Amino acid sequence: MPRTTALLLNAAHALDHLFLLIFAAAIGAIAVDFGIARWEDLMPYTTGAFLMFGLASVPAGRWGDLWGRRPMMLVFFFGMGLSALAVAATQTPWQMAVALTVLGAFSAIYHPVGIPMLVQNSATPGRAIGFNGLAGNLGIALAAVSTGFLVKHFGWRMAFVVPGVVSLLLGLWFARVAPAETRVPGRKPATQVHLPRHLAVRTFIVMVASATTGSLLFNLTTNGNAQLLAQRLDGLVRDPALLGALLGGIYALASLAQVVVGRLLDRVAVKPLFLGVVLLQVLMFALAAVSSGWLWYACAVAYMVAIFAAIPFNDTMIVRYIDDSMRSRVSGVRLAISFSISSLAVYSLGPLVKNAGFTTLMLAMAVIAAFTALIVTALPGQAQMQAGAATVR
């Protein structure tokens, strides 16, 4: 993969996560502009974006394998940019819901297409996935920082316009430098040794189940952290730009975990490392539930470290056990199931916080993390994987 193309693919991951979280970071200002009394009542209007982020992964993955990953990434850059400008032009909650849903459909392209494009033929896929994850989560951090700044000085609409223009410009750059594909992935002959059917099915089930619970935690935290931060630091920090910077700091620090985990995945077994990460989630959510002030902030850094650290595992398993000729399609199915179910987290976040509060939410997230740990125990061990692969050589 040429370095400039890889750089643009990582930038696309940053944009993908940035766009999906602008609404959550700016929701207070949007609610005031639209005449909505409580931000919690506006949150369900973004459900369509996260639902499409999952459902549209299936056709995106299929087209990536059978039409080509390069043209699909062009659709991603230009589609995201134009739909972000459409969101900025909305005047009512329902108009915004429609525009965000369209944005969510284009955002679904990246994960089943961009990541397989980045790691194809890579000798160190864990490292590539780790740095790609860092880029994606820096996009989350940038969403908090840039949205807080733009909302404060220029209004919430510019928080969508600026990254929308950036996406269009990056699309033009990608069209200029990304090499043409000599043969689309789905037309290439399979070249890797596959697992026996029973191990492949078991691994896929664990991937989908753990990705679903992980996505639930990801959506609950990244969409709720801005308001949670304001509540837990109430009386200590009130400036929106400073709150955005503090939230961005959480994400920036947590993002480094993906680089560390990515490097480890090229060297150590997946199962014990994955299990250790999700057990850390359980502990940190439980501690955060009973904390406030700067102690809560330290817990928030820790639980976001654990959430981000869990992200590379499923992508690494797809690279290890799924041939490149069908990675986009398999990834699309996995993402469609996990992201569609986890979109319920976005729908329920506002009503849950409104009726039960953030403490209950964090305890619920500790329970979800414990369930993830239980799922990971069902993952075949490395020795079992190697023995199974040897039987089909």
Digit-coded pLDDT (tens) for 180-203: 877 766 566 555 545 667 777 788
The 10 Å Cβ neighbour count of residue 258 is 25
> Does the residue 188 lie in any domain?
no
pLDDT at residue number 188 = 61
> Does the residue 126 lie in any domain?
yes
Q: What pLDDT, in 10s, does the model give residues 211-246? A: 889 988 988 887 788 788 888 887 677 777 787 788
CATH of the domain at 44: 1.20.1250.20
Determine the residue type at 210: S
Given a cut of 80, is residue 35 above it in pLDDT? yes
Pick from 72, 66, 71: nearest CA to 110: 72
Q: What pLDDT, in 10s, does the model give residues 113-126? A: 988 888 887 777 77
For 21, how many CA atoms within 13 A lie in the half-sphere containing its CB? 33
In angstroms, the CA 296 to CA 17 distance is 24
> Does the residue 187 lie in any domain?
no
The 10 Å Cβ neighbour count of residue 357 is 11
Q: Which two tokens stand for residue 1?
A: 């993969």
Q: What pLDDT, in 10s, does the model give residues 65-101? A: 888 889 999 999 999 999 999 999 999 989 999 999 9
What average pLDDT does the segment 256-260 reach? Answer: 85
> Does the residue 12 lie in any domain?
yes
Q: Taking the mean position of all CA atoms in its chain, how far away is CA 260?
A: 18
Q: What pLDDT, in 10s, does the model give residues 340-371? A: 787 777 677 777 777 888 888 889 999 999 99
* 3-state secondary structure at position 361: helix
Q: What is the DSSP string of 199-235?
A: HHHHHHHHHHHHHHHHHHHHHHHHHHHHHHHHHHTTT
How many domains is the chain partitioned into structurally? Answer: 1
> Does the residue 186 lie in any domain?
no
> Given pLDDT bands bounded at 50, 70 and 90, which one contains residue 5?
very high
Q: Taking the mean position of all CA atoms in its chain, how far away is CA 277?
A: 17
Pick from 123, 29, 50: nearest CA to 343: 50
> Does the residue 239 lie in any domain?
yes
Supply the range of the domain harboring residue 358: 3-181+193-390
In angstroms, the CA 146 to CA 139 distance is 10
Given a cut of 90, is residue 58 above it in pLDDT? no
Within 8 A by CB and 6+ apart from 367, the residues are none
pLDDT at residue number 75 = 96
